[in-house]
Amino acid sequence: MQATDSRDAIIKIQSVSKRYRAVNALSDFSLEIPRGTIYGLIGPNGAGKTTLLRILAALIAPSAGQVWFEDEEVSKAPAVIQRKVGYMPDFFGVYPDLTSAEYLEFYAGIHGIPRQKRARIIADLLELVELTSKRDALVETLSRGMKQRLCLARALVHDPEILLLDEPASGLDPRARVELRELVRTLQGMGKTIIVSSHILLEMAEMCTDVAIIQKGRLVVSGDVDRVSHRLGDGRQLEIRVLEAGRVPAAVELLKAMPDISNVTNGDGNLIQAEFVGNDEVLHRILVDLITGGIPVISFAPRSGGGRLEEVFMSITEGSSPS
Amino acid sequence: MTFLALLTKELRLRMRRERTIWVIIVYILLMGLLGWFFIGRFTDYNGFYNSNGLSDTGVSLYVLLSMVQLLLIVFITPAFTATTVNGEKERQTYDLLLCSRLSAFSLVSGKLAAGLMNALLLIAASVPLFSLVFFFGGISPGQVLSALVVYLATALVVGTFGLFCSTVFSRPAVSTAIAYMAGVIWLIIPLMGIAIDFIWASVRPASSPNQFPFILVWNPVEALISTYPTSYGGGLAVTLGHLKVAPWLLYTLLDVLATIVFFTLSTWTVKPGLPGNLLLWGRGEMRRGESETPAA
C-alpha cells in the first residue's frame, strides 16, 4: 500500500520483482522515494530489503520491472547510477592494512576523481565523519563505530546524490548510533536523499522522514513516519494522568465527547488512555478542552512515534522479528 | 586512472604483508643454497682447474638454477593471482568495486599487474645469483635473455590463468587448488607423453632424431631447455612448413595467445553487464558477485 505523494520523486521503483531460483525476494514492488528524504526500509529477516538496495545500487538486475533514477533507467545506465549513488552494505568491507586516508584515496581513485582533488576531498570527509585524528591509523585499529563512519565517508567519496545504507547502525553502541544518526541528518541537510534499512525501529522513527514496511518481498505500507505510525487503528495513543483518581470519570466523559478521541479507557488509578486522530494542533486543543473543563491534568503524553511504529510493524508482520 | 588506483592499493597491501618478505627471503635462500651445494659437489667430482672444467661448472650451475627458477615461477605465481578476485568477495569488498567506475578491463589488468609484479620481484631478486654463472663462463648473455623471456611469458600465462580461476570459483582455496592442478598437468603431461614416445622410439628406428617433438611446443621446461647450449639439449628448432622457429620463441607466442584468452574470459566473468554473464542471467537470473541465497 503506497500513499499518494505529491513530492518530487528522485527514485521510482515500478513493479519490481526479483527471483532467486525458487525464492521470490521481491514481488511486484512499487515505491516512489521523494528527493531529500531519509527513507527507512523496515522488514523482518528475508523481507527483501537488501535485495532492493542492491537493485538500486545496480549490483543486481531485477527479474521484472524497472527502477528509474529521475530520467535514467537503472539497467540501461549503470554508469550514471554509479555516479549518483553511494552504497554502504551491511558489512564493513575494509582493507585492514590500509590507513584511513589510503582507504578513501583508493575509492576516490576508482571513482575517477582526479589526483589533485583527492587530498582535499579526503580531508573534508574525514572531518565530516570526525576521523581526522585517525587519518594515518590502520583501518584494522579503528573501533566498529569508527569503521562504520569510515565506510560512510567511503560511500560519499564521489559526492553522490543518493545514499543507500544497509543496516548502518547494526552492532554499534548507543553513542555510536547517536553519532551516526546525527551524521545522516547532516547529510540530509546537505541535500542528499538517504535510503536506510535498520532493525532498530525506534532509531528509524527518530531518524527517518519516511518509511516503507516490507514483508515477504511485498510493500505493506509506506509514507511519512507519522502517517505510517497512525495507520493502525487510525490514531495515536495518548496517556493522561489527573491529580486524583476521583476526577477520572469526569475526564473520561469529557474525552468521550470529543470528536477526535476514541477508545477511552481508565488505566491504573489516575491514568486514562485514549486514541486520537490528528496532528499536534488537535492534541493541543484536547489539552485546552480538558483544562477549561476543570480537569486537573498533571501529565499529558502522546506516545512516541517509535513505539507506535513498533506496534504497527508487529501488527502488520504478525510478530515477525525485524531484521 | 582507476587502473593506477587499484594497482597502488594492491601493491601497498601486498608489500605490507609479512608473507611477501618471507617469500623473497626463502626464495633467494633456496636458490643460493642450491647453487652453493652444487658448486661444492661438482668441484669434488670434476674440479675446475682448467678452462673446460670452469665452463662446464658454469653451464651446469646455470641449468640447475634456471630450471629451479622456472619451477618456482610456475608454482609461486598462482599464489599471487589465484585468490585476487574471489579474495575481494571473501573480504566483502567486491560489491564496492562493482559500484565504482572501475571497468572490468581495469579491474582484471590491475589485479594481474600487481600479481605479476610480485613474480617479477622474485625474478629480479635472483639476478645476482645468476651473475655467478658468468664468473664461470659457458653461457652467453643471449641465452640468459631468451631464458628471461621464457620466465616472463610463463609468469604471464600462469598468473592470468590463476586470475581467471579466481573470477570463476568463489572460494579462494578452490581457485588456488585448480590453478596448481592445471599447472602440474600443463608441466607434467607433455613430458610424460614424450617419455612414453622415447621408450617406444627405442624399440623402433628413429625417423628424425633432431626434430623438436611437437607435443612439447607449449611446455615451459622444453622451452627453457631449448635456450641452453646444444650439449645440454638446446639448439633444436620447430619446423612450421618451410619455417624453422626456436621452440622458446614459439612457446612465448603461444603463452601470449593463451594470456589474451584467459584475460578476455576474466573480464567477461568479473563484472555485471558483460556478455560472459548472459549464461548466468539465463540460468538463474544472476549477475556475477550475486549470492545464490536471497538477501534479507
Which domains does chain A possess?
9-224 (3.40.50.300), 235-310 (3.30.70.100)
CB A138 within 8 A of CB A97: yes
Cβ-Cβ contacts under 8 Å, A51 against chain B: 294-295
| pLDDT of B101 over the 60 cut | yes
ipTM: 0.81
User: Strand A271-276 vs strand B243-245: parallel, antiparallel, or unpaired?
Assistant: unpaired
The three grid cell numbers given for residue B209, joined into one nine-digit string? 632424431
Query: What integer pLDDT is reported at residue B13 of this predicted model?
Result: 92
Of B156, B186, B127, the C-alpha closest to B257 is B156
Query: What integer pLDDT is reported at residue B177 of this predicted model?
Result: 95
- Window 126-145 of A: residues touching B by CB (8 A cutoff) are none
CB A18 within 8 A of CB A51: yes
DSSP designation for A232? G
Average pLDDT, rounded, for chain A = 86
| pLDDT of B289 over the 60 cut | no
* Residue ranges covered by each domain of chain B: 2-284
Query: What integer pLDDT is reported at residue B293 of this predicted model?
Result: 45
| Chain B contact present for A159, CB below 8 A | no
Cβ-Cβ contacts under 8 Å, B289 against chain A: 59
Tell me the three state secondary structure of residue B226: coil
Cβ-Cβ contacts under 8 Å, B96 against chain A: 87, 89, 93, 107, 154
What is the spatial distance between Cα A287 and Cα A309, in angstroms, rounded to a whole number? 24
Which pLDDT band holds residue B285 (cuts at 50, 70, 90)?
Answer: very low
Which pLDDT band holds residue B201 (cuts at 50, 70, 90)?
Answer: low
Instruction: Inspect the interface and report whether the beta carbons of B9 and A50 lie closer than 8 Å.
Output: no
Cβ-Cβ contacts under 8 Å, A54 against chain B: 95, 290, 295
Q: Which of A31-45, A229-243, A283-297, B253-267 has the lowest mean pLDDT?
A: A229-243
Q: How many CB atoms lie within 10 A of CB B17?
A: 11
φ and ψ at A315, to 5 degrees?
Answer: -65, -45
Cβ-Cβ contacts under 8 Å, B283 against chain A: none
Which pLDDT band holds residue B47 (cuts at 50, 70, 90)?
Answer: low
Which pLDDT band holds residue B211 (cuts at 50, 70, 90)?
Answer: low
What is the spatial distance between Cα B264 and Cα B261, in angstroms, rounded to a whole number? 5
Instruction: Inspect the interface and report whether the beta carbons of B99 and A57 lie closer than 8 Å.
Output: yes
Q: How many CB atoms lie within 10 A of CB B39?
A: 18
Give the residue on A whose Cα is nearest the Cα of B285.
A63
Burial string for B40-78 (b: 16+ CB within 10 Å, else e) reads eebeeeeebeeeeebbbbbbbbbbbbbbbbbbbbbebbb
| Chain B contact present for A116, CB below 8 A | no
Instruction: Inspect the interface and report whether the beta carbons of B93 and A98 lie closer than 8 Å.
Output: no
- Segment B184-204 mean pLDDT: 76
What is the spatial distance between Cα B123 and Cα B69, in angstroms, rounded to a whole number? 8
Tell me which of A26, A60, A162 to substitute to probe the interface with B (most B C-beta atoms closer than 10 Å).
Answer: A60
Which pLDDT band holds residue A246 (cuts at 50, 70, 90)?
Answer: confident
User: Strand B238-240 vs strand A261-266: parallel, antiparallel, or unpaired?
Assistant: unpaired
Q: Which candidate from B12, B99, B284 shows the least CB-CB separation from A21?
A: B284
Instruction: Inspect the interface and report whether the beta carbons of A46 and B296 lie closer than 8 Å.
Output: yes
What is the spatial distance between Cα B144 and Cα B142, in angstroms, rounded to a whole number? 5
φ and ψ at B51, to 5 degrees?
Answer: -65, -35
- Segment B160-183 mean pLDDT: 94
CA of B88 vs chain A CAs: smallest distance (Å) = 9
CA of B28 vs chain A CAs: smallest distance (Å) = 26
Chains A and B: how many Cβ contacts under 8 Å?
Answer: 116
Q: Which of B175-179, B243-247, B290-294 has the lowest mean pLDDT?
A: B290-294
Instruction: Inspect the interface and report whether the beta carbons of A112 and B1 lie closer than 8 Å.
Output: yes
Instruction: Inspect the interface and report whether the beta carbons of A109 and B6 lie closer than 8 Å.
Output: yes
| pLDDT of A39 over the 90 cut | yes
- Segment A94-110 mean pLDDT: 94
Instruction: Inspect the interface and report whether the beta carbons of B9 and A106 lie closer than 8 Å.
Output: yes
What is the spatial distance between Cα A173 and Cα B255, in angstroms, rounded to a whole number? 55
The three grid cell numbers given for residue B181, joined into one nine-digit string? 592442478
B117-132 pLDDT, tens digit each: 988 898 888 888 888 8
- Window 19-48 of A: residues touching B by CB (8 A cutoff) are 19-21, 23, 25, 43, 45-48
Query: What integer pLDDT is reported at residue A225 of this predicted model?
Result: 81
| pLDDT of A237 over the 50 cut | yes
| pLDDT of A312 over the 50 cut | yes
Give the residue on A whose Cα is nearest the Cα of B95.
A59
B interface with A, Cβ–Cβ < 8 A, is 1-2, 4-6, 8-9, 12-13, 16-17, 91-93, 95-102, 272-273, 281, 284-287, 289-290, 292-296
Q: Which candidate from B92, B287, B294 shows the least CB-CB separation from A51?
A: B294
Give the residue on B whose Cα is nearest the Cα of A198.
B296
CB A201 within 8 A of CB A313: yes
**Percentage of the residues of chain A whose pLDDT score is greater than 70:** 89
Contacts of A191 (CB under 8 A, 6+ apart): A36, A161
| pLDDT of B20 over the 50 cut | yes
Q: What angle do CA A159, A165, A170 make, to 5 degrees?
A: 140
Query: What integer pLDDT is reported at residue A323 of this predicted model?
Result: 45
Query: What integer pLDDT is reported at residue B294 of this predicted model?
Result: 47
Query: What integer pLDDT is reported at residue B244 of this predicted model?
Result: 83
3-state SS of B69-135 is: HHHHHHHHHHHHHCCCCHHHHHCCCHHHHHCCCCCHHHHHHHHHHHHHHHHHHHHHHCHHHHHHHHH
Instruction: Inspect the interface and report whether the beta carbons of A82 and B281 lie closer than 8 Å.
Output: no
Q: How many CA atoms lie within 13 A of B111 on its CB side?
A: 32
Instruction: Inspect the interface and report whether the beta carbons of B286 and A60 lie closer than 8 Å.
Output: yes
What is the spatial distance between Cα A4 and Cα B182, in angstroms, rounded to a whole number? 60
CB A11 within 8 A of CB A163: no
| pLDDT of B278 over the 60 cut | no
Query: What integer pLDDT is reported at residue B163 of this predicted model?
Result: 96
The string of DSSP letters for A37-83 reads -EEEEE-BTTSSHHHHHHHHTTSS--SEEEEEETTEEGGG-HHHHHH
Which pLDDT band holds residue A233 (cuts at 50, 70, 90)?
Answer: very low
Instruction: Inspect the interface and report whether the beta carbons of A105 and B6 lie closer than 8 Å.
Output: no
Q: Which residue has the higher pLDDT, A52 or A78?
A: A52
| pLDDT of B283 over the 50 cut | no
Query: What integer pLDDT is reported at residue B284 of this predicted model?
Result: 38
Q: Which of A2-11, B36-45, B244-253 has the lowest mean pLDDT?
A: A2-11
The three grid cell numbers given for residue A171, joined into one nine-digit string? 552492532
The three grid cell numbers given for residue B92, joined into one nine-digit string? 566483502
Give the residue on B whose Cα is nearest the Cα of A98.
B13
Q: Which residue has the higher pLDDT, A92 or A190?
A: A190
A118-173 pLDDT, tens digit each: 999 999 999 999 999 999 999 999 998 899 899 999 999 999 999 999 998 887 88
B145-169 pLDDT, tens digit each: 999 999 999 999 999 999 999 999 9
What is the spatial distance between Cα B35 and Cα B23, in angstroms, rounded to a whole number? 18
Cβ-Cβ contacts under 8 Å, B89 against chain A: none
Of A18, A116, A152, A9, the C-alpha closest to A71 is A9
What is the spatial distance between Cα B158 and Cα A3, in angstroms, rounded to a whole number? 58
Q: How many CA atoms lie within 13 A of A226 on its CB side?
A: 6
Angle between helices B141-168 and B51-81 (to 10 degrees): 20
pTM: 0.79
Q: Which runs of consecutive H residues, i.e. helices, occur in chain B?
A: 2-16, 18-45, 51-81, 86-90, 94-98, 104-125, 127-136, 141-168, 172-202, 220-225, 247-270, 278-284
Query: What integer pLDDT is reported at residue B280 of this predicted model?
Result: 40
Average pLDDT, rounded, for chain B = 82
| Chain B contact present for A296, CB below 8 A | no
What is the spatial distance between Cα B165 and Cα B168, in angstroms, rounded to a whole number? 5
Of A71, A89, A68, A76, the C-alpha closest to A163 is A89
